[in-house]
Amino acid sequence: MSESENTRESKQLLHLVFGGELKSLDGTEFKDVSQIDVVGIFPNYATAYSAWKAKAQLTVDNAQMRYFIVHMHRFMDPS
């Protein structure tokens, strides 16, 4: 493995997973911001996706519950 590939694999790319109940199915405004579920911050997309999927599956019976993945690393280093 080349040095650039190794650096790319080990680079920390933080992702935030959170969710809650939305006011309506066609928007992203939360019904009660104080009830937002912050699942956590993860070191890469794969682990964030696993956490997102697990939470989404737990709330599948509530159509207004939505979970999101935010690419925090893009805000920290926009380039």
For the chain, the domains span 12-76
The model's pLDDT over 4-58, given as tens digits with 9 standing for 90+, comes to 444 455 688 999 999 999 999 999 999 999 999 999 999 999 999 999 999 999 9
DSSP secondary structure of 6-43: HHHHH----EEEEEEEBSSTT---BS-GGG-EEEEEES
With a pLDDT cut of 90, the percent of the chain lying above it is 76
Superfamily of domain 12-76: Uncharacterised protein PF13773, DUF4170 (3.30.70.2400)
